[in-house]
Structure formats: C-alpha cells, structure tokens
Amino acid sequence: MKEGMDIVALAQEIKRREAAKQDYTAPTTELSVGRLQEAGDDLQMQVGQKGCFGINEVAHQQLGDHLGIPRRYYTRMQAEAPDLLAANINTWLIKKPSNRMIRTLDGRVRAFLSDRYQCLDNEMVAQAALPVLLNQEAFTIKSCTLTETRLYIQALSPRLMGEVKVGEVVQGGIVLSNSEVGLGAVMVEPLIFKLACTNGMIRSSALKRHHVGRRIEQGGEAQEFYATETIKADINAFMLKIRDTVAHAFDELAFHKELELFRLAAEQKIPAGNIQATVEEVTKRFDCSKGESDNILTRLIEGGDLSQWGLANAVTNLANDVESYDRAVELERKGGQIIDLSPREWQVLSKAA
C-alpha cells in the first residue's frame, strides 16, 4: 500500500479545490479552442462569455472521444500541429452540437462531460466519511491522497484481524474512492491488508454510484451549474448511505467469510513447471503490462508461496512500488480479482502450459 499524504493535508487540499473549482454548462456551439500568444502551442478553450481556460490531458481525451477524433491522430496533432487540431475541434463542435458540462480548476478545463453528469464531489464524500473514519477506536487511516483524477482514502479496522496461514496475519478495512472528472464512480470497497509485507488487496464494491443525473436544462449560452433542491436532496441521501456503509463496512462475519476465501486460495497451488505460464496468463487476463508481469513473476518466486493466494499477493506487492497511486489502486483491485477466480477458471489458467 502506497503511503500517500497526511490526512490533514488531504482535507486542506480538498477545501482548496472546492474554493478554486468552477463548473459551467454550455452548448458546443458556444465553445471554441485556439492558441494564445503567451500560451505557446498549448490550446485554450473559450467557454461562452465566462472566460478562456487551459486544457488538461483528461479533458483533451474526453474532448477527442466526444467529437470522434481518433486518439492517436488527436495526440499527434496536439504535439505537431496544434492549429490543425484546433480547426478539427472547432469544426466538429459546430457540426456535432450538444450541451456539455465543463469542469475547471485553477484556470484549466479539467473535464469535458455529458450534461447528465452529476457532481458527487470530494468535499461531499469527505464530509460524509471522515467523521466516521476519524473515530480512532473503529478505524485507522492507513493511506490517502488526491491525484489529478481521483480521491482515495484507505482505512483499517483494528478489530478485524485473522490468519490466512499460520503466522500470516491480515487486517480488514475499506477503500473510499471518487473521481470528479468522469473517470470513476463513488465507491466504498472492502480492503484486506497483509501486515507482514504491507500489501493492500481490494475486494468487490460494497457501495457504488455513478455520476449520472438529470439532464441539465439551460439556455443558449454558457451558464454556471447549480443543483436544484431535488437533486441536492438525492445527493444528501446518498451521502448518508456513504456514512452508514463506512460505519458498518466490515462486520466480523463478513471478514471471516473473506478469510475462508483466502485460505481456499492458498490451497490452490500452481503446478510445477507452470509458474511462468500461469503468471503470464493471469496477468494478461487482468491487463498487466509485460514489465509488470515479469515483476510479478519475480515477486511470486521470491515470496515462495506458489498458489492463487501467493500470486494475488505478488500483484498487490507490486502496487507498493509503482509510481502512480492510481495504478497502485488498480493493482490492489486486480489482486482481489485473482482471489475471485472460480476453481474452474484457476485450473484453466494455472495449467496454461
């Protein structure tokens, strides 16, 4: 599990972003992109009469995807011919009219989203969850951070501890995550933490909600987005669900059922001579790169536990060392998905040779 940032620093950055961000809705016919002299080759987006903003990479990808510009061609124009890219974008903004939500932060467009996008933002999630998580008798916050695209809070319960094998102790907890830029739902997921090697393994979601709401009604020019009382009430109800899910995220019965799954996985051995083929097949199934697959194989062999449980832990151990916190969490989820392989699936994959 990656260390992330201090919880106080996290709360301060959430508060800063809350004050600095601004959302607009606009028809694409009121949007345009171009280069400003002081910005060099970087494109700027004019949002009606509301202002001109830089564009981050997430928004560029969403803009290209919405307009149907192939990503490889888009990035080539962005690097080599920004004026041509601007001409393409401006042409299709007019020829493919629709209403969009434009999310900005610190003077840059950070997301280009559907007009049905519902803002379930980090400050709302934190206000619902942190009062529960900061109750030190129930949870200890182990890791948290804000990346460019997501919020993560990983917390453990000192009451939920058990052995998968003799001397191999794990602890239960939760992962709370959210994306304000359309790259993920609000999720509360069970977490298993292996004490000896500080691996975190994320299990299937306990609570999940996508950012989809009512289509935004607005006129012909860019407008600031304000939720109606009905939408606010719906959001408030969901935040109460987050609070309650966090408070009851892991009861002892559910935790011990998880332990039984891990113990069964520890009994599912990789046949002798099939270690490399098994790792290649499993990591291919879960979209790991060749470099990651090789690294996982090394960690599996060094760990000495040549089983389904051992392979899952080799994946989550790699998560401790990757540079990206976002990728680390993805690997922690993949570790949980390996545990969820059925006996038949595991048998097929582990006899890949």
- Full DSSP string of 140-169: EEEEEEE-SS-EEEEEEEEEEEEEEETTEE
Average pLDDT, the chain: 88
Instruction: Calculate mean pLDDT across residues 136-155.
Output: 89
Q: Indicate whether 331 belongs to any domain.
A: yes
Whether residues 246 and 296 share a domain: the answer is: no
Residue 353: CB atoms within 10 Å = 12
Task: Give the integer Cα–Cα distance in Å for 170 and 239.
Answer: 29
Whether residues 166 and 240 share a domain: the answer is: yes
Which phi and psi angles does 55 have, rounded to 5°?
-130, 125
Q: Indicate whether 9 belongs to any domain.
A: no
Instruction: Calculate mean pLDDT across residues 244-251.
Output: 76
- For 66-99, write each residue's pLDDT tens digit: 999 999 999 999 999 999 999 999 999 999 899 9
Task: Give the integer Cα–Cα distance in Å for 307 and 239.
Answer: 40
Q: Indicate whether 68 belongs to any domain.
A: yes
DSSP 8-state class, residue 192 = E
pLDDT at residue 304 is higher than 50: yes
Whether residues 66 and 173 share a domain: the answer is: no
Whether residues 89 and 54 share a domain: the answer is: yes
Whether residues 133 and 231 share a domain: the answer is: yes
Whether residues 128 and 155 share a domain: the answer is: yes
Q: Indicate whether 219 belongs to any domain.
A: no
Confidence (pLDDT) at 120? 87
Q: Indicate whether 25 belongs to any domain.
A: yes
Domain that holds residue 246: 122-208+227-251
| Higher pLDDT pick, 32 / 212 | 32
Task: Give the integer Cα–Cα distance in Å for 239 and 242.
Answer: 5
Q: Indicate whether 217 belongs to any domain.
A: no
C-alpha separations of 20 from 15, 52, 147 in Å: 9, 15, 16
Which phi and psi angles does 215 have, rounded to 5°?
-60, 135
Whether residues 176 and 243 share a domain: the answer is: yes
Q: Domain boundary at 70, 88, 114, which?
A: 114
Q: Indicate whether 258 belongs to any domain.
A: no
Confidence (pLDDT) at 250? 66
Whether residues 109 and 161 share a domain: the answer is: no
Whether residues 57 and 165 share a domain: the answer is: no
Whether residues 69 and 149 share a domain: the answer is: no
Q: Provide the token pair at 44.
A: 């700027």
Q: Domain boundary at 47, 82, 114, which?
A: 114
Q: Say how many residues make up the chain.
A: 353
Long-range contacts of 58-66 (CB under 8 A, 24+ apart): 58/110, 58/111, 58/148, 58/149, 58/181, 58/182, 58/183, 59/108, 59/109, 59/110, 59/111, 59/112, 59/181, 62/111, 62/112, 62/113, 62/182, 63/89, 63/112, 66/96, 66/98, 66/100, 66/112
Whether residues 177 and 62 share a domain: the answer is: no
Task: Give the integer Cα–Cα distance in Å for 188 and 69.
Answer: 34
| Higher pLDDT pick, 167 / 353 | 167
Q: Domain boundary at 98, 114, 130, which?
A: 114
Task: Give the integer Cα–Cα distance in Å for 35 and 27.
Answer: 21
Confidence (pLDDT) at 39? 59
Contact status, residue 86 vs residue 72, Cβ threshold 8 Å = no
Q: Provide the token pair at 166.
A: 């003799």
Name the domain count of the chain: 3
Q: What is the pTM of this model?
A: 0.87
Whether residues 274 and 311 share a domain: the answer is: yes
Nearest Cα to Cα of residue 170 among 245, 246, 254, 258: 258
Q: Indicate whether 215 belongs to any domain.
A: no
Instruction: Calculate mean pLDDT across residues 276-290.
Output: 93
